[in-house]
Amino acid sequence: MCGIAGIFQLANVGQPSEAVLAKMNNIQEHRGPDAGDYFFDPGVGMAHRRLSIIDLEGSPQPMLSADKRACIVFNGEIYNFKELHQELQSKGYQFNTHGDTETILNAYLEWGEDCVQHLRGMFAFAIWDREKQKLFMARDRIGIKPFFYSLLSTGEFVFGSELKVLTEHPSFDRKLRDTTVEDYFTFGYVPEPHTVYENSFKLSPGHTLTLEKGMRTLPEPKQYWDIPTQWDAELSAEDVQGELIERLKQAVDIRMVADVPLGAFLSGGVDSSGIVALMSQLQSDPVNTCAIGFDVKAFNETEFAQMVADRYHTNHRVETVGQTDFDLIDKLAFLYDEPYADSSAMPTYRVCQLARKHVTVALSGDGGDELFAGYRRYKMHLHEEKIRNMLPLGLRKPLFGPLGRMYPKMDWAPKFLRAKTTFQSMAMDTVQGYHNSMSILRTDERAKLFSKEFQSSLNGYNSLEVFNRYADKVKGLDPMKVAQYLDMKTYLVGDILTKVDRASMAHSLEVRVPILDHKFVEWAFKSPSDHNLYNGIGKYSFKKSLESHLPHDVLYRKKMGFAVPLADWFKGPLKDRLYDGLLSKQMTESGYFSSKQLKRLIDDHVSGVRDNSAPLWTLMMFESFMRQQLGKAA
């Protein structure tokens, strides 16, 4: 795993500043502590930080092709590189190394921009074609590896593996994009393809971008892959049961190739436990596993992780995160470069820290909830959809709309009485209803939080537009698949994969995700929705397939998630920080918020009127971002 950076001068042929590129590259040294090097051509500078995983000594980057025509910087792993190596060698291509980097280079020389269709893995790379004088960039299909870019006012195009790489350029524009503030307080992250900054972007998963000398504006990225939303025949339950384990085992197997110590995360949940079970069947030595526990029993899953570790005799290591592990709050704001509000980033950081003490590569179970409908919100979404199907929108709007506005928000009440969000969603269509249900702060709550001036600056923009970008793609899908597709295009990329990439790279740890192998995704997304959510059991098809591999208590216990006890923290040890930070001059005079509502959110939570832990954490991480990142530009 590595970090990449580059400068491409669209308008002239002068050499980019070596000092600036070095500064950009050095800020991401944590991504690749083993080596760092540079390549310069007229108008082009490319940089790389290397974490050696395969071909430890023989694949330095930036790498020139054997004929010197093209140069690449690459972050990721290509799991079918040996097969591609043989195919390209048979076509006459020369290889000077034994790794995957040179394979991508020769694949580009043979197939041009279609080279991405031949790659199986996680990747973000840039290739400078000296002959055609163009820069070709690509990101993997699912979005496991990040790619940021910006066109500066100087006419320089800059790119990197983290947003901090771009912000190190002295000409980078730090003006915030107002619409992404609205997005952040809905989702808890900034969705693709935008960043929090007005003039910088993320290359979306499954997309490529090509630039040529003389361009004055950036072209639209081209999509080369998407999650399949149409198929000739849906898989049957029997198909899923008969094939799932062998297909997933293949995805696990090809991710176990490494020239460095390898292990796995073992949280005690179904997904990571399933990966460990299959790894144990594929290697003779015990699997290295690690888990993070909490000193609060309601959030601690280590006993279930231990069940799996005992069954497969893994080399298992556990560390406990205490209730006072608050030192990470500001560190997370630095790591993620833009507002990011998933509090599970804290234990994820700690489990990566633990893993890196013993291995350099770890396999994880990310993606199972999105692919096989494991989140509890999917069950609620289906209940709401049944009501939508019974009554047309013309009747639901006047019936449920007023109820949603009038009904109090009762977080303290039993779940069946917490109907405000449900009533609101009933007055909406499928996509809008799902957007409302999964929002950290709903539209009406954001309206209270934001100042009137900021609301006016949005010019009617609503974060629903993030989902509406995909509305045409989900029209033919059943309600469950609609929610899954939306999550895989937004939540999975912007939250889950972002969390794991930054947390792991902070410790120079490579994380591989077998469940998100694109061939497995293409097959598994066709599994029937009524088999994924069966008799109220989420991820049923996945669990059923794993019954002979995992203990029943691991498979069918209540889902806990990788959470932290925020509600208690904010009433106790973090209470003063809430008041000091959220009511600071930087927040109250930022122009974004109603100071009165900021105080009300804190007061209501501390007094026990309602549980505002999610919005308060979202605000706290925004405050930390403002103080750290924007403070640099002051």
| Residue of 81, 84, 77 whose CA lies nearest to 121 | 77
Beta bridge partners of 606: none
Residue 587 in contact with residue 601, Cβ under 8 Å?
A: no
Secondary structure (DSSP) of 442-487: -HHHHHHHB-HHHHHHTTT--THHHHHTTHHHHTTS-HHHHHHHHH
Tell me whether the omega of the peptide bond preceding residue 408 falls within 30 degrees of 0, making it cis.
Answer: no
Q: Is 487 exposed, middle or buried (0-12, 13-18, 19+ CB in 10 A)?
A: buried
Classify strands 361-363 and 262-265 as parallel, antiparallel or unpaired: parallel
User: Number of C-alpha atoms within 13 angstroms, CB side, residue 192?
Assistant: 28
CA–CA dist 155, 169 (Å, integer): 13
CA–CA dist 411, 541 (Å, integer): 32
In 224-328 the beta strands, taken as DSSP E runs, fall at: 262-265, 288-294, 315-321
Q: Which of 2, 115, 290, 352 is catalytic?
A: 2
Among positive and negative, which fits the CA dihedral 95, 96, 97, 101?
Answer: negative
CA–CA dist 449, 185 (Å, integer): 10
> Distance of CA 434 to CAs 100, 187, 426, 557, 587, Å?
41, 12, 10, 26, 30
Residue 234 in contact with residue 240, Cβ under 8 Å?
A: no
DSSP 257: -
Token code pair at residue 446: 């954001």
498-505 and 328-336 helices, crossing angle to 10°: 110
Is 2 part of the annotated catalytic residue set? Answer: yes
Q: Tokens 């030192």 sit at which residue?
A: 327
CA–CA dist 494, 166 (Å, integer): 18
Residue 484 in contact with residue 476, Cβ under 8 Å?
A: no
Q: Is 379 exposed, middle or buried (0-12, 13-18, 19+ CB in 10 A)?
A: middle
Q: Which residues contact 446 (CB under 8 A, 6 or more apart)?
A: 182, 185, 186
Token code pair at residue 145: 């590896």
Residue 134 in contact with residue 211, Cβ under 8 Å?
A: yes
Q: Tokens 């900034």 sit at which residue?
A: 190
> Distance of CA 378 to CAs 51, 273, 274, Å?
38, 22, 22
Token code pair at residue 280: 């144990």
Token code pair at residue 519: 């061939």
CA–CA dist 268, 387 (Å, integer): 35
- Nearest 5°: CA angle at 116, between 208 and 371? 90
AA identity, residue 61 = Q
CA–CA dist 124, 73 (Å, integer): 9
Active site residues: 2
